[in-house]
């Protein structure tokens, strides 16, 4: 059964629709909603029963903690114990926006949200529909990406329905998400900042606003850092990456030939400049190679389109790991497993 889908104009929000979504939340239900990164699947973060529904709907392992979404900085005090100076600075600079902070949790955050960790992931999204929804709900919303666990994250309401029809109550359809790739997740300790997942906020920007602090990309103190699952964000088709650089086009063609020769349906995710070279295959353009922002916004969409087209193998061209390109390549590598 299809969930109820309510179309909302992000520039002119219909409050009666928000009210319907809020009612679902207050009845312990699940609402998919747009954020500036990807669609989230929200439930009342302070209600363990409601949160359990998220894990069930997504078929998500119970050791993969959730991000808690807030709309007002005051809510942070209820969820997190001590704000290190760096966290304050980062939230001032990047909230609302695609940054998630890992902080020491307070007792009101249920264990199921954090999967027993003593830290909680918090984010204040900037999408107007998300903000209005969280404010009206009056409670923080636990919300992972609104896809079946392991699949590419959803950037449209249709992607949500394709994965979760029959498993959730309501979808707020606010159109395509702007950034198209998830938030940057950072953990802070006394010595350094660890980027657990590159995402919508460029790591270079984080370094720039905290010049005295060491920033590294890696895994943090928790056992369940994102990326502990080797394969993620994956379409059904097998994904192979042709790394950016000399000989990239030739590499795509040789892999494509071999796969086609063995009778497999071959799709190529190409940078705009090379798309013509692959015209004998099913080609989808990621974006201009120098425009990581465009590539980020399109990545999950084209991965899903390749599945709809019934491809067996996807050969994806890599881009430079600069700016959002870092997040794009992180997701592509995970998709390739
Ligand atoms: O942009 C986003 O972050 C989207 C939108 C919906 O806000 N959400 C999202 O959630 O990507 P999800 O569940 O797909 O990814 C959240 C990641 C998980 O991989 C989880 O391991 C990590 O955040 N995480 C959550 N709490 C954590 C904690 N206390 N310590 C370390 N990692 C944590
Ligand atoms: Mg996810």
Q: Looking at 82-86, 120-124, 272-276, 306-310, which range is the least confident one?
A: 82-86
Q: What is the pLDDT of residue 222?
A: 65
- Tokens 């609402």, located at residue: 31
Q: What is the pLDDT of residue 223?
A: 53
Q: What is the pLDDT of residue 227?
A: 46
- What are the structure tokens assigned to 114, written together? 């954090």
Query: In this structure, what DSSP letter does residue 14 have?
Result: -
Per-residue pLDDT for 160 more than 60?
Answer: yes
Using an 8 Å Cβ cutoff, are 189 and 82 in contact? no
More confident residue, 330 or 82: 330
Per-residue pLDDT for 214 more than 90?
Answer: yes
More confident residue, 219 or 8: 8
**Phi, psi dihedrals of residue 190, rounded to the nearest 5°:** -65, -30
Per-residue pLDDT for 225 more than 80?
Answer: no
Per-residue pLDDT for 300 more than 90?
Answer: yes
Task: Report the percent of the chain where pLDDT is more than 90.
Answer: 92
pLDDT digits (tens, 9 = 90+) for 189-206: 878 999 999 999 999 999
Range list of β-strands (E), the chain: 4-7, 31-33, 40-44, 67-69, 99-104, 119-123, 141-142, 170-173, 184-188, 192-197, 214-217, 238-242, 266-271, 282-287, 313-317
pLDDT digits (tens, 9 = 90+) for 162-179: 999 999 999 999 999 999
Ligand nearest to the CA of 180: 1
- Pocket of ligand 1 from Cβ distances under 6 Å: 35, 37-38, 40, 64-67, 98, 100, 102, 114, 117, 119-121, 123, 143-145, 182-183, 185, 196, 220, 222, 224-226
**DSSP state string for 298-329:** HHHHHHHHHHHTT-SEEEEE---SSTTHHHHH
- The count of C-alpha atoms lying within 13 angstroms of the C-alpha of 201, restricted to the half-sphere facing its C-beta, is 28
- The count of C-alpha atoms lying within 13 angstroms of the C-alpha of 13, restricted to the half-sphere facing its C-beta, is 18
Per the prediction, the chain carries an average pLDDT of 95
Per-residue pLDDT for 256 more than 60?
Answer: yes
Please give the number of the atom of ligand 1 that sits closest to the Cα of 98: 1
pLDDT digits (tens, 9 = 90+) for 2-40: 899 999 999 999 999 999 999 999 999 999 999 999 999
- Minimal-distance CA residue to ligand 1 atom 24: 65
Per-residue pLDDT for 220 more than 80?
Answer: no
Per-residue pLDDT for 226 more than 90?
Answer: no
Q: What is the pLDDT of residue 65?
A: 97
Ligand nearest to the CA of 41: 1
Q: How far apart are CA 226 and CA 240, in angstroms?
A: 22
Ligand nearest to the CA of 67: 1
Using an 8 Å Cβ cutoff, are 38 and 58 in contact? no
Q: How far apart are CA 124 and CA 134, in angstroms?
A: 10
- Minimal-distance CA residue to ligand 1 atom 17: 226
Per-residue pLDDT for 224 more than 60?
Answer: no
Q: What is the pLDDT of residue 267?
A: 98
- Asked if omega into 246 is within 30° of 0 (cis), the reply is no
Ligand 1 centroid to Cα of residue 185, in Å, is 7
pLDDT band at 1 (very low <50, low <70, confident <90, very high): confident
* Best mutation site among 100, 134, 227 for ligand 1 pocket (most ligand atoms within 8 Å of CB): 100
Ligand 2 centroid to Cα of residue 258, in Å, is 32
**What is the rounded average pLDDT of the residues 114-127?**
97
Per-residue pLDDT for 107 more than 80?
Answer: yes
Q: What is the pLDDT of residue 231?
A: 78
Per-residue pLDDT for 76 more than 50?
Answer: yes
**What is the rounded average pLDDT of the residues 90-117?**
97
């Amino acid at each position: 059964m299809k969930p109820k889908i309510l179309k909302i104009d992000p520039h002119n929000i219909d409050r009666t629709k928000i009210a319907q979504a809020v009612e679902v939340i207050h009845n312990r239900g699940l609402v998919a909603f747009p954020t500036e990164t990807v669609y989230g699947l929200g439930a009342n973060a302070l209600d363990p029963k409601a949160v359990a529904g998220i894990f069930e709907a997504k078929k998500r392992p119970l050791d993969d903690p959730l991000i808690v979404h807030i709309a007002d900085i005051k809510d942070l005090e209820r969820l997190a114990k001590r704000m290190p100076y760096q966290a304050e600075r980062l939230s001032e600079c990047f909230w609302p926006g695609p940054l998630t902070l890992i902080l020491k949790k307070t007792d009101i955050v249920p264990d199921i949200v954090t999967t027993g960790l003593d830290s909680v992931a918090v984010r204040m999204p900037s999408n107007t529909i998300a903000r209005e929804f969280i404010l009206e709900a009056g409670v923080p919303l636990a919300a992972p990406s609104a896809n079946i666990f392991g699949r590419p994250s959803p950037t449209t309401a249709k992607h949500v329905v394709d994965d979760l029809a029959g498993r959730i109550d309501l979808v707020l359809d606010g159109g395509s998400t702007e950034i198209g790739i998830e938030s940057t997740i950072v953990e802070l300790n006394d010595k350094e900042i660890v980027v657990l997942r590159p995402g919508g906020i460029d790591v270079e920007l984080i370094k720039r606003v905290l010049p005295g602090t060491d920033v590294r990309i890696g895994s943090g103190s928790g056992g369940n850092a994102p990326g502990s699952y080797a394969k993620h964000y994956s379409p059904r088709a097998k994904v192979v990456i042709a790394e950016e650089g000399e000989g990239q086009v030739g590499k795509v063609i040789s892999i494509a030939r071999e796969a086609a020769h063995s009778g497999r349906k071959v799709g190529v995710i190409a940078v705009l400049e090379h798309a013509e070279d692959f015209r004998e295959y099913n080609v989808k353009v990621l974006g201009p190679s120098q425009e990581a922002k465009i590539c980020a916004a399109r990545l999950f969409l084209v991965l899903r389109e390749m599945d709809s087209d019934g491809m067996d193998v996807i050969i994806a061209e890599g881009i430079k790991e600069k700016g959002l390109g870092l997040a794009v390549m992180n997701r592509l590598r995970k998709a390739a497993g």
